[in-house]
Chains A and B, each alone.
Chain A
Amino acid sequence: MSNTKRFTISGIIVVILLLIPVVVSRTDLMTWLTFTLLYIALSQSWNLIGGYAGQQNLGHAAFFGIGALLVRTLWLYGTPLPLALVAGALAAMIFALIIGFPAFRLKGVYFIIGTLVLAEILKIIFDTILPHASVLPSKLLNDYSLTPRYYLSLVIALLAVGLVYGISRSKLGLGLMSIREDEDAAEAAGVDTLKYKLTAFLISTGLAGLAGGVYAYFAAAVLPGHMFAAEWTFDAVIIVFVGGVGTIIGPIIGSIFFVLLQQLLNLFLPAGTHVLVFGILFIFVVLYLPGGLVGLIHKLKKNAS
């Protein structure tokens, strides 16, 4: 596909997305769309560190949670939402900087376990010190509208997709992919691997913090501990792998697929069992379809031509 064609199609999709709240009034549909956009932002942010840089960070929920909790608190205490969102992203990035240096001393499976444990520790801490649900005050609940929530998710999703797309085609993106492919070879070719892993980690966690902020603005009632729940990480990871790891379009297709299937499964199965289905799907994709849905589409196109 040529660049012009690609930009035209992207432009048309963005315009349609902007017009949706004008046309659609069903709240269930608007909720799904808002969640799809939220998942696009979250999974794309994971895709940068996990897909492009090859650092399988299983602590992504920690950064989502930090962003969510701080934005929720600041916003409910009267801080303007944009300011609260910036603060949430910065807090996630500062935390990433603090744990990044020790975490990146761990390699391979130790990095994966280390980051997973970190997020679980935060969840336990906030379950303990903030055991009560944060409910929107009645004034905000009475005025609650999905439209601004939808638009905020759209802005953050576009930001995440645009940023990761730009990086993937830049010098930084090439460096990150070289680290993913072989860290020693990247060092030998002059890549400061620690510096670029940290850079990707900061951008990734900043976006995760923003996604958390969107959730904080969306949720009518939420347990603070839930903001740090492992499912935020695993949903993002499953979406990226099912969609197509290390591609821009993968997390987008994956998010649409994920939310659709989740709603479909919730119709027929007891609530929560969709996790089981996604787990099995994830294993299947990793074993038999390493390129995810994007890879499958490419394969079918190749066979057709």
Chain B
Amino acid sequence: MLLDVKHITKAFGGLVAVQDLAFTVEAGEVIGLIGPNGSGKTTSFHLISGFLTPDQGEIEFDGHRITGLKPHKVCQGGLARTFQLTKPFAELSAAQNVMVGGLYGDTTGQTTRQAVKESEEILEFVGLGGRGDTPAEAFGTVGRKRIEIARALATKPKMLLLDEMMSGLTRTEMAEALALVRAIRDSGVTLIVVEHVMKAILEISDRLIVLHHGEKIAEGIPAEVLKNQAVIEAYLGE
């Protein structure tokens, strides 16, 4: 078991964003985290990646308790993430963006020279080969999302949390993005994917976890979960 989320709860004032959420992820899986707007998906990502601390409950990753650790510690421990609204280092080049992940997130102690070389390989892998010198701000939505994934991959994660990488993409771009997600999985990285685009998430997920009002209402293989009465009600209303 790679990730063990043990009954975490997070409230903002009176609003309970995540309630008693528990699930586990095995190494090699692709987990789809779905639910209507405001169901607690992004809050869950913030909690797992250390940007928020749960009010109750514990999170274990790779055999270590990571509850309350700062985000950079979680990242160095092998759990990387991307952001729903991409956050590239705008004025830095694509290669420098990736090098930050390699030099700071990867704890094997890369030299700058190694980080430069690796940034080229990783940019190639995400489909931005040869564009390392371009400033991140010069890229469009797709490019920025890829830079962000490349930066996360440079930290050598065991697990990657992808937050809505399909939103705002065209049909062709989405097909490419799906291919990239498969390639990341095939490289041995476990994935949790938050996605609104249902078609995309059904195609790549081994297992779905459905959130509604901060609570887990269903879990299982995609075909079964979609037949679940509670899930249908959550999405379509009663």
Contacts and interface: CB of A to CB of B under 8 A. Distances in A.
A182 interface: yes
Contacts of A174: 92, 96, 99-100, 103
B61 to A, nearest CB: 15
A184 B72 CA distance: 9
Given A188-B80, A189-B75, A189-B151, A178 B92 contact: yes
B87 A185 contact: yes
Contacts of B106: 190
A192 interface: yes
> Size class of B's contact patch?
20 to 34
B89 A181 contact: yes
A170 B104 CA distance: 12
> Size class of A's contact patch?
10 to 19
A190 B78 CA distance: 10
Contacts of A188: 49, 51, 71-72, 75, 80-83, 87, 152
Contacts, number: 89
Contacts of B100: 174-175, 178, 186, 189-191
A192 B112 contact: no
A193 B76 CA distance: 13
Contacts of A191: 72, 100, 104-105
B75 A185 contact: no
B179 interface: no
Contacts of A190: 72, 75-76, 100-101, 104-107, 155
Given A186-B72, A191-B100, 13 more contacts: A171-B103, A171-B112, A174-B103, A175-B104, A177-B96, A181-B90, A182-B89, A185-B148, A186-B104, A187-B50, A188-B80, A189-B155, A190-B104
9 contacts: A175-B100, A175-B104, A182-B88, A186-B89, A187-B75, A188-B83, A189-B104, A190-B101, A191-B104
